[in-house]
Structure 1
Amino acid sequence: MKRRANGLGTAYKLTGNRARPWVARFPAGRDEFGRRKWITLGYYATKSEAEKALAVNLVQPVSEKHRITFKSLHDEWSEIHYKRVSRQAKYVYTGCYKLLEPLHSRVFCDLRTADFQRIIDGLSKSRSYKETVKVFMGLLYKYAMENDICHKNYAQFIKIEKAERKEIEIFTDAEIKKLFDNDTLLGADMTLMLIYSGFRIQEFLNLTVFSVDLENGVITGGLKTDSGKGRIVPIHPKTMKYWKRYVDDASDRLFAVDGKPLTQGRFRDKIYYPLLERLHIPKKTPHKCRDTFATLLARKGADTLAIQQLMGHTNYAFTANVYTAKDKDYLAQNLNRI
């Protein structure tokens, strides 16, 4: 073992055939018996790498927890972090941790981007979920760096493949006809109202009798963005009878069950999906009604500005500064193209 100046640490080579045989360690005081204590910085392929690590440690010294395992680091982090996040976030991060099980026993500071990349590439998960795993790793690294356990976030270099652009799935003309032909079935009228209004599902379920102006044939509602809130959507003639029926039967919320507002979960699981199954329509999320609305408008040549306004898209906020076409006749002319 080559001696170095006191306090600078030492680099020495292990015996045997190893990928990273060089060890870098530095002194950390003495134990209760007066013996010198050492902290191992890590294992390196070459002597120069080990000596460089020692030099960096002089400027940015690591803590005695430098050799903590992935599992132990996660346990420390989760005990603190999980007190500040929602139950859903805790559930998601726990799932990410389980997927990284092959790394649990490894020393955290010995891990490199390639270790994470191999696991990410082997996951049969969506691109967004893989991004979530990357975010989860970033949180662990943030905690590790805040506590001088390491000084570099190798998770930031993880590469996630680009998502394939998929054709938007919508209701076909034949499926829409099937809904009209069976509009007495539970949920068929609501599905058609969604398709011909473009409301997001929660916007739709939040509507009240005061949102619908049958005399002028318009609905006022919307959420999410400044341009989406309080937007005006004309009632399509094909769905007018459905809107009238719900207004006549409601006292406040248009869509209620046993006097209680209909929730997204109940609508999907008890009404919408059973309806599609009964009519042998391939399963689509309720949001596909909104996609169908936008597609039909574009297909029938509606003005881009009208589509933006009817959909309540954020980019309408800019065009509204130039154009002021928010009258119902203009929107109705475009809506009635479908």
Structure 2
Amino acid sequence: MRNPNGYGTVFKLSGNRRKPFVARKTVGFNDKGHPIYEPIGYYAERKDAMMALAAYNLSPYDLVSRKLTFSELYDLFVEQKYTDNDKKISNGYAAAYKACSNIHDIIFSDLRTAQLQKEINNWDKGYASKKNMRILFNFLYKFAMQNDIVDKNYASFIELTLPDEDTEQLHKPFTTEELATLWENAADRSAQYVLIYCYSGLRPTELIRIKTVDVHLDDRYMVGGIKNRTSKNRAIPIAEKIYPFIAAMYNPDNEFLVTDFDGPLSYDRINWRYWKPLMQKLDMDHLPHDGRHTCATLLDNCGANKTVIKKILGHAGLGTTEKVYTHKTIKQLIDTINLI
């Protein structure tokens, strides 16, 4: 039975092929009136090709975009999500893209989990860098699905194995001796950032996103937080030990609490400009998130109330009445954070 005009065709290619049947659509005509074809896909059985052609006609997509390589899709993603919005993609994601050069020229829709997993496994970097690569892959698949380039996110099946040394690294609080060294260097803005993490429980990204209008110096608390419902917009007590740092950073003319000489700080900038140089200077081996683990450990060691610890760290939601940040709630959080 002949297919309707414009429906497309299925035919068998010559030779001994693993997938000899091709489904294709006419996408235009050349100067001589001859049809220009774009393949939908190649299949082992005719019925599979017919099903693919039927699925395409039921929900057409851009066949040309389906032929974008990994590199071409990345460039399009960066342009639309970052460049057009006057933003710069983070150094972590840019490094991840550069590291997976083996798949740059592969058609994005042809990629599968095994190829993506291989790029991550073969990258001679630590857990955090490999996690950035996985995040980038997921971003690209989400972007591709939004534009009907792929139907399935193969990056969602990637597995990250955490080596023993990385496990220890990711959950290693600062020791008592290291905290003493940080206080000895408290005049250094870099050390101040580390101490704020350790005595507030803030995630690194949470600190740089706190707006000045949400800093209540007189009442000794800030409002901020990211990640999930229980962490967002929580009351963050300002411990007496770090109050001078917060007060010195506070400038009502700035949108954000944490700024630098050339504007607001990004996670990458605070990491490369302050964290890493300080760790090297003091001969310490810690990741920025270790400050949060340090706060949790210090609170636990001093016997603080478990529920209050969760409220400070954003691990548990505030009750209906507490969500308005009553004086009783704030005092409870401040008294607890001042135990460390």
TM-score, length-scaled by structure 2: 0.65
Write the distance in 1 (CA, Å) between the matches of 2:223 and 2:12: 67
Write the distance in 1 (CA, Å) between the matches of 2:20 and 2:307: 66
Give the match for residue 171 of structure 1: 174
Q: CA offsets per residue over residues 277-323 of structure 1, 9 Å max, x none? A: 4443x1334553333122111122210233234x2626342375499
Aligned equivalent of 2:310, options 283, 308, 311: 308
| Paired-residue identity, % | 22
Tell me if the contact between 1:113 and 1:154 (Cα under 8 Å) persists in the aligned partners: no
Equivalence map 1:1-338=2 (5 Å): 4-5=2-3, 7=5, 9-27=8-26, 30-61=29-60, 65=64, 68-70=67-69, 74=73, 77=76, 81=80, 84-89=84-89, 98=98, 101-103=101-103, 105-106=105-106, 111=110, 113-114=112-113, 116-117=115-116, 119-124=118-123, 125-143=129-147, 145=148, 152-156=150-154, 158-162=156-160, 164=162, 166-167=167-168, 168-179=171-182, 182=184, 186=188, 190=192, 192=195, 195-198=198-201, 202=207, 219-224=220-225, 225-228=232-235, 231-235=236-240, 239=241, 275-280=278-283, 282-309=284-311, 311=312, 313=314, 315-318=316-319, 321=322, 325-326=328-329, 328=331, 330-331=332-333, 334-335=336-337, 337-338=339-340
The letter of the residue matching 1:51 is M
Structure 2 residue runs of 5 or longer lacking an equivalent are 124-128, 226-231
Tell me if the contact between 2:191 and 2:278 (Cα under 8 Å) persists in the aligned partners: no
| Pair 1:300–1:53, CA change in 2 (3 A) | same
Write the distance in 2 (CA, Å) between the matches of 1:62 and 1:335: 56
Tell me if the contact between 1:194 and 1:204 (Cα under 8 Å) persists in the aligned partners: no
- Shift of residue 178, structure 1, vs aligned partner: 3.9
Write the distance in 1 (CA, Å) between the matches of 2:63 and 2:261: 61
Task: Say how many residue pairs are matched.
Answer: 311
Q: CA offsets per residue over residues 169-224 of structure 1, 9 Å max, x none? A: 211122234445x367646983556534545663799889x9656xxxx7333433
Tell me if the contact between 1:227 and 1:314 (Cα under 8 Å) persists in the aligned partners: no
Tell me if the contact between 1:13 and 1:21 (Cα under 8 Å) persists in the aligned partners: yes
- Shift of residue 161, structure 1, vs aligned partner: 1.1
| Pair 1:106–1:30, CA change in 2 (3 A) | same
| Pair 1:142–1:91, CA change in 2 (3 A) | farther
The letter of the residue matching 1:160 is I
Write the distance in 2 (CA, Å) between the matches of 1:71 and 1:275: 37
Write the distance in 1 (CA, Å) between the matches of 2:141 and 2:44: 25
Q: CA offsets per residue over residues 132-153 of structure 1, 9 Å max, x none? A: 212213312432x2xxxx6x51
Tell me if the contact between 2:20 and 2:43 (Cα under 8 Å) persists in the aligned partners: yes
Write the distance in 2 (CA, Å) between the matches of 1:290 and 1:331: 16
Deviates more, 1:10-19 or 1:167-176: 10-19
Tell me if the contact between 1:185 and 1:275 (Cα under 8 Å) persists in the aligned partners: no
| Pair 1:11–1:127, CA change in 2 (3 A) | same
Write the distance in 2 (CA, Å) between the matches of 1:188 and 1:27: 62
